[in-house]
Structure 1
Amino acid sequence: MSSSESATENPNIITEGLAFGESPRWHEGRLWLCNWGTGEIVAVDEGGRSEVMLTVQAVLPYSIDWLSDGRLLVISGREGLLLRREPDGSLVTHADLRGLSKNPWNEIVVDGRDNIYVNGGGPAPAPGEHFGPGTIVLIAPDGAVRQVADEIAFANGMAVTPDNKTLIVAESHARRLTAFDIAADGSLSNRRVWADLGNDYPDGICLDTEGCVWYADVPNRHCVRVSEGGAKIDRVDVDRGCFACMLGGADGKTLFITAAEWRGFENMVSDARTGQVLSVAVSAPGAGWPAYNSGTR
């Protein structure tokens, strides 16, 4: 694999002492993330100063994104609820997903038209498996909820292209990124392999202005930049599992990585605090959704 000089530097440690940082989002000049295992949603600036913005009644999984009007959304995975934070700080139910699956929901992305996509759920896992095939549901701006994709092999990170026409999802167990066309009503079609990742297991993802995807990989302990078709361009190696990544910073050219030591699903909730936020300078700024927009979401 070829690597740019900027992407092979040792990443900087921004903050540490987290449990499991997940669902990182660049918002109003700081990196927001879910500190799985604690219920905390934390904001960290580039100097490493962190602040607990709110605590939810969820241990894991839970993920965040924003509506275009600035209201925070939280998917409380095991409870099957999509919560919305009102201007007074209260959390209300934006959508109830419990009728669609009894299994946990995982990731969320809001596109530029306020279509909300949530993945996870799906049928019961097979004996000995932690997750069954996942689904993607759409919560439309009018509040209507419907399933728009199924048979996702461990649904993880999602991103939407800047033109709002393509949704990309990480299928961790299939070791690939899968793309769908997005119709005017938010429906998904034309499912296809966007990138076959070989022996990598993509987790959280984000897009850049050159149309590439950065994906985090827990077992291989790295983040990789890949173009459509599967060509791997850049790589950042770290000393622990990479759970998610997000482009942000003043010019959008900082890759933030949430990383932690992986001890298996059975030990995700523990007193271990090996979680870190790392950063490294990269060549292309963030684009699409989850948004890198310095003045808005």
Structure 2
Amino acid sequence: MAERVVRTVLTGGGFFEGPRWHDGTWWVSDFYRHTVSRVSADGRETVQFEVPGQPSGMGWLPDGSLVVVSMKTHAVLRWDGSSLSTHADLSAHCGGHLNDLVVDAAGHVFAGDFGYDLMGGGAVATASLKRIDPDGTVSVAADGLQFPNGAVITPDGGTLVVGETLGNRYTAFDLAADGSLTNRRVWASLGPEVTGATTEEVLGQLAVAPDGCALDADGCIWVADAVGGRVVRVAEGGGIVDAVAAPEGLGVYACMLGGDDGRTLLLCAAPDFYEHNRAPVREAVLLATEVDVPHAGLP
């Protein structure tokens, strides 16, 4: 696996998440500063707006407006460039904080949640992947997922692949034009089946904990390994074909391919993911490195 130079793009974050490349710039959420920002390639940050309910995953609708998760209020918000409104309330379908999302070309939004009270020490439970239709209707697209998190859609729009952070796997679905998901299957098995009632029990069984991720033009997924302090490039079937380690003392919790040629891999890094450690301090960083194969698909 190639040795790569990892450089620092931005410091001083609470906990960066949901990175995206859009219109020639990075966009990123910060859980504990409650901000959604644009970040230039050379690290200049411009806060666009605040989400008091804690922002996470984001994407763009066909009309160009931005949608972003409000984690603690279980809502997806819409930002039109000047004001925020509620795009959909998903409270009825959330067992824990709402988390990451992906938007397909037709404007269907797919969002996962934790499934249980992760930060409060609740019993581990499965969660659903929820779909918001363009008219705002909310439904469950798939259930029984072990912490559905980062998701990608293939360039042809026909397949959605979602990481199960506490499941050692990626799961794929056929994605229809109406947003329905069928033909559920394991896209990549990264470790053994996971059991256990507590987060600590489950974390000890994880070979790779898929967090935020990005699809490349070879059909591989770059994934932040939330327990491994690294990003890994995963091929369909589960083979790890490349890896980049974070600097010592940092974990990586999301990544995205972008830059003008799609070959810059942005990493969201912090010492850990626990709210009581991260919220009071500003130790999160954005890191970047260059890879050979460019971005493809969505987000």
TM score, norm. by length of structure 2 = 0.89
Find the aligned partners of 1:277 and 1:77 in 2 and give their Cα distance: 21
Distance 2:42 2:56 in 1: 25
Give structure 1 stretches of 5+ with no counterpart. 291-297
Question: How far apart, CA to CA, are the structure 2 residues paired with 1:153 and 1:263?
Answer: 18
1:210 aligns with 2:210: no
1:238-290, Cα deviation, whole Å (9 max, x unpaired)? 1210010000001001111111101635434222x221111111111111110
- Aligned residue runs from structure 1 range 154-193, under 5 A: 154-193=147-186
Whole-angstrom distance in 2 between the partners of 1:53 and 1:263: 24
Q: How does 1:50-69 map to 2 (within 5 A)?
A: 50-59=45-54, 62-69=56-63
Structure 2 residue 123 is matched with structure 1 residue 115: no
What is the CA-CA distance between 1:101 and the residue it aligns to?
A: 2.8
**Contact preservation (8 Å) 1:224, 1:232:** yes
Shift of 1:100: 2.3
Q: Does 1:11 align with 2:6?
A: yes
Show the counterpart of 1:152.
Answer: 145
- CA gap of 1:13–1:76, structure 2 versus 1, over 3 A, is same
For 1:45-84, what per-residue CA distance to the aligned partner results, in whole angstroms no more than 9, with x for missing partners?
111111111111123x532111122101111121021111
Counterpart CA distance in 2 for 1:124 and 1:218 is 18
What amino acid sits opposite 2:235 in the alignment? S
SS at match of 2:166: helix
1:149-195 deviation line (CA, Å, top 9, x unaligned): 11111121111111111111111111111111112321112111111
Q: Which of 81, 84, 90 is the aligned partner of 2:78? A: 84
Question: Residue 43 of structure 2 aligns to a residue in which SS?
Answer: coil
Deviation at 1:211, TM superposition (A): 0.5
Whether contact under 8 Å (2:57, 2:102) holds in the other structure is no
Deviation by residue 1:191-232 (Cα, 9 ceiling, x = unmatched)? 111111231111101101111100001221000111101111
TM-score (norm 1): 0.89
1:133-148 correspondence runs (5 A): 133-148=126-141
Change (3 A) 1:141 1:19: same
Query: CA separation in 2, counterparts of 1:201 and 1:77?
Result: 20
Q: Please, which of 27, 31, 40 is the counterpart of residue 45 of structure 1?
A: 40
Whose RCO is larger (CA < 8 A, sep 6+)? 1
Structure 2 unaligned runs (5+)? 192-206
Aligned partner of 2:259 in structure 1 is 249
Q: Distance in 1 between matches of 2:288 and 2:117?
A: 37
Partner SS state of residue 93, structure 2: coil
Distance 1:150 1:124 in 2: 18
Question: Per-residue deviation at 1:128?
Answer: 4.4
**Conserved? CA contact 2:93–2:128, under 8 Å:** no
Q: 1:130 to 1:54 in 2, by over 3 A?
A: farther
- Contact 2:94–2:127 under 8 Å retained in 1: no
| In 1, Cα distance between equivalents of 2:214 and 2:19 | 10
Contact in 2 for aligned 1:207/1:286 (Cα 8 Å): yes
Segments ≥4 residues shifted beyond 3 Å? 121-125, 127-131, 263-266
Q: Does 1:261 align with 2:256?
A: no
CA contact (8 A) 2:152 2:298 kept: yes
Quick one: distance in 2 between partners of 1:15 and 1:130? 35
Whole-Å separation in 1 of the counterparts to 2:13 and 2:121: 29
For 1:194 and 1:83, locate their aligned partners in 2 and report how far apart those are by CA, in whole Å: 30
CA contact (8 A) 1:122 1:150 kept: no
1:128 and 1:19 map into 2 onto residues whose CA distance is 21
Match of residue 226, structure 1, among 221, 228, 234: 234
Structure 2: distance between partners of 1:250 and 1:263: 30
Q: In 2, are the aligned partners of 1:124 and 1:132 still within 8 Å (CA)?
A: no
Instruction: Give the distance between the partners of 2:242 and 2:52, measured in 1 at CA.
Output: 38
Distance 1:77 1:47 in 2: 29
